[in-house]
């Protein structure tokens, strides 16, 4: 076993247990879930990339009101080539049959996205206990501002090279996110297809490559996964799908049911729902639109085009037309209350390791 102390991450962030709740984008995060995980001794997280600056400020206030313990707010780093804010007529026409099927008007070709620099300013001003990032390096002013305020900064890597780059850029913690993980892939130094390293291949290599604490993520859903990650040298784990299936998450009922069904045994990587590659349960939309994987516009255009369709499909319980983000270990998810789920994961890992966690 790697000799690094498992307690480094917990000590840095102020946690009782080495478990982070994955930050869910696209509205699946909730204050209730983040607070429940934090109150239970883990690190609750909120995916806030879609929020305007004033909403970010209010979010941090709401989280502080819900829990006195540490929590994290997560942002997406903009990627090159994603500056476009207008869809083409062809982009809209491609989706017309699905909108018509639900009786919806075609989506607008205009969109408004939050400004990342303004988000950074608002988040630093609100000063949450922890800030986490995916899909890129933290800008220098975010690193400097977080250090002045004593806020730990978590970055996310899908390869060893990304982990090393994050450490050089000033990240205090690196999440090693394996290709098993559900939701959006976080690759930023190389294309996603060149960055698909399995969790238990990635984690020990990242542990050996960086000096900062490492959090293992991807396909970790029960105590066995937590114990294995710690034995590979990780300081903690990040669990996404397991918490997404819990009662307090903002996942739609149709999404939660899918996560706890045999459907979740088959997941795919797709750009179809947002324009960025993400792992989710294969459904009718993914299969019918497979030929357009490389032609749909990049994020945020495709994401904006799909939002009304996804929302209506979820409201109608239409699992065939909604994004069902899921990791490859969804079959181990149990649902229920987040605190009970976390307690079970910790108890199982503790039994396997022969010590309490």
pLDDT bucket at 112, cuts 50 / 70 / 90: confident
**Comparing C-alpha atoms, which of 72, 18, 22, 39 is closest to residue 226?**
18
Percent of the chain with pLDDT over 90: 92
For the domain made up of 7-91+112-249+335-353, give the CATH fold.
TIM Barrel (3.20.20)
pLDDT bucket at 326, cuts 50 / 70 / 90: very high
Q: Over range 19-27, report the average pLDDT.
A: 93
Evaluate whether 275 touches 27 at the Cβ level (below 8 Å): no
pLDDT bucket at 14, cuts 50 / 70 / 90: very high
Residue 262, class by beta-carbon neighbours within 10 Å (0-12 exposed, 13-18 middle, 19+ buried)? Answer: exposed
Q: What are the pLDDT digits (tens) for 227-247?
A: 999 999 999 999 999 999 999
pTM for the whole structure: 0.95
Domain ranges of the chain: 7-91+112-249+335-353
Q: What is the pLDDT of residue 111?
A: 77
Q: What is the pLDDT of residue 31?
A: 98
Q: What are the pLDDT digits (tens) for 192-215?
A: 999 999 999 999 999 999 999 999
Q: What are the pLDDT digits (tens) for 329-353?
A: 999 999 999 999 999 999 999 999 9
Alpha helices, DSSP H only, in 82-197?
89-101, 116-126, 140-149, 160-169
Spatial separation of the C-alpha atoms in residues 113 and 278, rounded to whole Å: 20
Question: What letter does residue 287 receive in the DSSP assignment?
Answer: H
Q: Over range 158-180, report the average pLDDT.
A: 98
pLDDT bucket at 61, cuts 50 / 70 / 90: very high
More confident residue, 140 or 110: 140
Quick check: 1 pLDDT over 80?
A: no
Quick check: 75 pLDDT over 90?
A: yes
């Amino acid at each position: 076993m790697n000799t690094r102390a498992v307690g480094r991450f917990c000590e840095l962030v102020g946690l009782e247990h080495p478990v982070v709740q994955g930050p869910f984008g696209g509205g699946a995060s909730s204050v209730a879930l983040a607070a429940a995980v934090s109150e239970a001794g883990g690190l609750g997280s909120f995916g806030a990339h879609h929020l305007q600056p004033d909403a970010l400020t209010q979010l941090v206030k709401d989280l502080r009101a819900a829990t006195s313990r540490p929590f994290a707010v997560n942002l997406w780093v903009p990627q090159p080539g994603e500056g476009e804010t207008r869809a083409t007529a062809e982009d809209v026409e491609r989706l017309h049959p699905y909108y018509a099927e639900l009786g919806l008007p075609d989506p607008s070709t205009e969109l408004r996205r939050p400004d990342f620099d303004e988000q950074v300013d608002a988040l630093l001003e609100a000063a949450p206990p922890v800030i986490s990032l995916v899909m890129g390096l933290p800008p220098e002013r975010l690193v400097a501002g977080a250090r002045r305020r004593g806020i730990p900064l978590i970055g996310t890597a899908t390869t060893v090279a990304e982990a090393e780059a994050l450490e050089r850029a000033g990240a205090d913690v690196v999440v090693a996110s394996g290709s098993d993980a559900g939701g959006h892939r976080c690759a930023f130094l190389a294309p996603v297809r060149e960055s698909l390293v399995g969790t238990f291949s990635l984690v020990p290599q990242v542990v050996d490559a960086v000096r900062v604490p490492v959090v293992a993520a991807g396909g970790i859903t029960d105590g066995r996964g937590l114990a294995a990650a710690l034995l590979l040298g990780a300081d903690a784990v990040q669990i996404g799908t397991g918490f997404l299936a819990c009662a307090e998450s903002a996942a739609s009922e149709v999404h939660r049911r899918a996560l706890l069904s045999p459907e979740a045994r088959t997941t795919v990587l797709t750009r179809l729902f947002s324009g960025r590659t993400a792992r989710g349960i294969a459904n009718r939309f993914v299969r019918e639109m497979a030929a357009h994987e490389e032609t749909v516009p990049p994020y945020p255009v495709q994401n904006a085009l799909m939002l009304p369709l996804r929302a209506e499909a979820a409201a109608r319980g239409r699992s065939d037309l909604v994004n069902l983000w899921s990791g490859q270990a969804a079959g181990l998810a149990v649902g229920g209350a987040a605190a009970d789920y976390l307690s079970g994961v910790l108890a199982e890992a503790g039994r396997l390791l022969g010590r309490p966690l």
